[in-house]
Amino acid sequence: MFTKFEHFAATSLMGSPQEAPPRQDGHLQFDRDWEKLAFGVAIALSKQGHYEWEEFRQTLIATIDEWESTHELDDPEWDYYQCWLSALEKIAIASGVLEAGELEQQLAQVLDCKAST
Amino acid sequence: MPSNYPGFEYDADRETVSAAKVKALESLLIEKGVITGQTVDTVLSHFESKMGPFNGAKLVARAWVDPDFKARLLADCNAACEELGFPTGMSGAEGEHMRIAENTPEVHNVIVCSLCSCYPWPTLGLPPYWFKDPTFRARVAREPRVVLSEFGVELDDSVEIRIWDTSAQIRWWVLPMRPEGTENMSEEELAALLTPEAMMGVATVKG
């Protein structure tokens, strides 16, 4: 029973340490600005009805499982928000919010833009 | 950005690409009219300023300086939250029927929980990882004094420890004791002393 979608979405991830986002003193812990943005976009798209939150959650869990099956459990390369971002890309395309290839194109532009400034 | 240290190049690249990718994703969605520049801020503000341990801290600080408010907080936690304009989840959201247990020189309260969704979110924020650990819960019930001392809370043998199982019906949290030597502190300064752990009963408040 939740009236706030944000609340429901975050709480639904607290089931296991594996899928729960990093937090500190009762707050979400974001180490890099892009983590915040990726977190907010994933919740916002579902809030607007582009996909069910459970679909995102399952995509995230599958992405983490895939990473864990191909890496050692103590691999220092482990990065929760890399998995989050990867899940977000997958679901954005699967739900039709983005078309495949669109993001790569935009990314190339952003990176070009960075290189030339 | 290539790093000066060989072997770290992959990381630096990955960082640049990830940051650029999220930016690209957001700008595409804005371009398509799916979201606006404000959408993400609105979502994040929910976590940063609406619901979180800062609310619990303010309630406790007010209770420390205002005995009448404290009486109201103990009698009806949700009403006291509303009095300060904090969300309680009265319309069926989490935080519904919150109750606060008061620590005294004679009684120390600790909250435990078997389901993550039973945590008093509006006042304590997101639960720490260990809180849901079945081992933690079982040990608190069996040997609370030992567990508390591991958290750095040393209680005199005369202090009674009460364990509150926070549930979907009643979401418990703890009103810690005001530390000595804080008589001249403002309400705001007092609020800054509080941690989620203190309001769960696994820490005391240091002045």
Question: Has B117 been annotated as catalytic?
Answer: yes
Instruction: Say how far apart CA B3 and CA B11 lie, in whole Å.
Output: 9
User: Would you state the structure tokens that stand for residue B73, as one six-digit string?
Assistant: 């907080």
The larger pLDDT score, comparing residue B4 to residue B66, is at B66
What would the pLDDT profile of A77-116 be if each residue is shown by its tens digit? 889 999 999 999 999 999 999 998 899 888 888 888 766 6
CA dihedral B178, A27, B111, B59 (to 10 degrees): 40
Q: To the nearest whole angstrom, how far is the Cα of A35 from the nearest Cα of chain B?
A: 8
Q: Where are the alpha helices (DSSP H) in chain B?
A: 9-31, 39-45, 53-65, 67-75, 77-83, 121-124, 134-142, 144-150, 187-193
A44·B94 Cβ contact <8 A: no
What CATH number is given for B51-191 in this structure?
Answer: 3.90.330.10
Question: Has B113 been annotated as catalytic?
Answer: yes
What average pLDDT does this structure show over A60-65? Answer: 95
Residue tagged active-site, from B118, B149, B167, B186: B118
Among the listed ranges A50-54, A98-102, B91-95, B162-166, which one has the minimum average pLDDT value?
B91-95
Output DSSP code: residue B46.
I
**Whether pLDDT at A74 is above 60:** yes
Task: Give the rounded distance of the alpha carbon of B150 from its chain centre.
Answer: 20
Question: pLDDT confidence of B5, banded at 50, 70, 90?
Answer: very low
- Residue type, position A54, single letter: E
Residues of B in contact with A17 (CB under 8 A): 129
Each domain of chain A, given as residue ranges in start order, spans 46-117
B61-97 burial: b if 16+ Cβ within 10 Å, else e: bbbbeeeebbebbeebbbebbeeeebbbbeeebbbbb
**What distances in angstroms separate CA A48 from CA A7, A88, B35, one per listed residue?**
15, 15, 9
Task: Give the DSSP letter string of A27-48.
Answer: EE--SSHHHHHHHHHHHHHHHT
Confirm if A39 and A25 have CB atoms less than 8 A apart.
Answer: no
* Chain A interface includes B146 (CB < 8 A): no
Taking all residues of chain B, what is their mean pLDDT, rounded to a whole number? 86
**Bridge partners, residue B107, by sequence:** B160
pLDDT at B29: 95
**Whether pLDDT at B116 is above 70:** no
pLDDT at B113: 81
User: Would you state the structure tokens that stand for residue B20, as one six-digit string?
Assistant: 């650029």
**ipTM of model:** 0.89
Residues of B in contact with A50 (CB under 8 A): 34
* Chain B interface includes A83 (CB < 8 A): no
pLDDT at B3: 39
Taking all residues of chain A, what is their mean pLDDT, rounded to a whole number? 88
pLDDT at A83: 95
What would the pLDDT profile of B68-111 be if each residue is shown by its tens digit? 999 999 999 989 988 988 877 544 455 568 899 999 999 999 99
What would the pLDDT profile of B21-47 be if each residue is shown by its tens digit? 999 999 999 999 999 989 899 998 888
Residue found under tokens 């944000």: A6
Going by C-alpha positions, the residue among B125, B155, B159 that lies closest to residue B55 is B125
Question: Has B81 been annotated as catalytic?
Answer: no
**Whether pLDDT at A62 is above 90:** yes
Supply the pTM of this predicted model. 0.78
Confirm if B182 and B119 have CB atoms less than 8 A apart.
Answer: no
Confirm if B98 and B122 have CB atoms less than 8 A apart.
Answer: yes
Question: pLDDT confidence of B2, banded at 50, 70, 90?
Answer: very low
Pairing of strands B98-102, B171-175: parallel
pLDDT at B179: 96
Each domain of chain B, given as residue ranges in start order, spans 1-49, 51-191
